[in-house]
Amino acid sequence: MDDRIVRSDDRAVSPVIGKVLEAGLVVLYIGLLTTTLYGGVVPKYRTSVGDEVGQRVLSKSAERIQQAVPEVGTNVRVRLHVSLPETVRGSGYVVRADGESLTFDHPNERLNSTVRLALPSRVATVRGNWSSREPAFIVVRSGPRGLIVELMRGREP
């Protein structure tokens, strides 16, 4: 009689082990799928999308700067608010002006880019920078050698 009890207990273990193995295979499959996606496919996609958004930020910023410069006149004062996305690919960034070009500066170096501004000859220089985490605006004013375009951030003066 003791042998039958042991044998019936042995048979009850078999379905439990089968279910544990099935659950283990499902967990292994999900783990491999997650590792594949987050290890390769998703970061490449995020970088690609981040690059596209960075290019749009740079082109729209250049467009707004070019629109802020009046068609005629050298004795001017213009203020224009600019809307920027707060983050690109999950991080803040800076847009810098350096004379005649605009640079998108991001912590992920793959997203950095530069564009040359198309401004009239009466613009002497473009300078300043914007942080994505602060309000951004453009100030165009008269200078001794022509118009000065400044990228300013924070509260408007």
Q: Which residues contact 31 (CB under 8 A, 6 or more apart)?
A: none
pLDDT in tens, 26-51: 888 888 877 777 776 666 767 777 88
Instruction: Report the run of H or E that residue 90 belongs to, with start and end.
Output: none
Tell me: pLDDT of 64 over 80. Answer: yes
Where do the structural domains in the chain lie, given as residue ranges? Answer: 2-153
Class of residue 32 by CB neighbours under 10 A (exposed 0-12, middle 13-18, buried 19+)? exposed
pTM (predicted TM-score):
0.68
> Confidence class of residue 96 from pLDDT cuts 50, 70 and 90?
very high
Distance between the two ends of the chain, CA-based, in angstroms?
95
